[in-house]
Amino acid sequence: KYDVPSPNLQDNLINLFGLKPLADSVARTDPITGAKNKLRKSYKGHIADLIGKNQIPTNHTILPLIDSPLFESRPALKPFDTSVLRDAFKFDKSTVAVGFDSSLLGLND
């Protein structure tokens, strides 16, 4: 004997699982007018309902500050002390922190 699985796949699963509001929110057609919503190639449709400023400001880059004619004489770059750099990236062996379980790193797997 064959039992029909539950839920039956011929049922409307969107309504059955209460996903109608979610489906309506992402539909490309307006439920009232039936007009087709334009599919945007940007993020604007996803953040339109967020509060606050959600527009990217234009022409606010750091390039005009760097490449400004006001700074005709740029400061000379001094060579960086390699001993400071070496000390900054030196990895000396240190003690294990109290309560640290190294088995959680998964290195023994």
Q: Give yes or no for residue 72 having a pLDDT over 70.
A: no
CA atoms within 13 A on the CB side of 54: 11
Angle at 14 between CA 9 and CA 20, to 5 degrees: 170
Q: How many domains does the chain fold into? A: 1
In a domain, 31, yes or no: yes
Beta carbons of 37 and 29 less than 8 angstroms apart: yes
In a domain, 107, yes or no: no
In a domain, 91, yes or no: no
In a domain, 26, yes or no: yes
Domain extent, residue 48, equals 1-72
d(CA 67, CA 77): 17
In a domain, 85, yes or no: no
Q: Which tokens go with 2?
A: 């064959």
pLDDT tens-digit map of 13-67? 999 999 998 888 777 777 678 788 776 677 777 777 778 777 766 766 777 677 7
Per the model's pLDDT, the better-predicted residue between 98 and 38 turns out to be 98
pLDDT at 92: 79
pLDDT at 19: 92
d(CA 68, CA 90): 38
pLDDT at 76: 78
Burial code (b: 16+ CB inside 10 Å, e: under 16) for 53-71 equals: eeeeeeeeeeeeeeeeeee
> What is this structure's pTM?
0.29
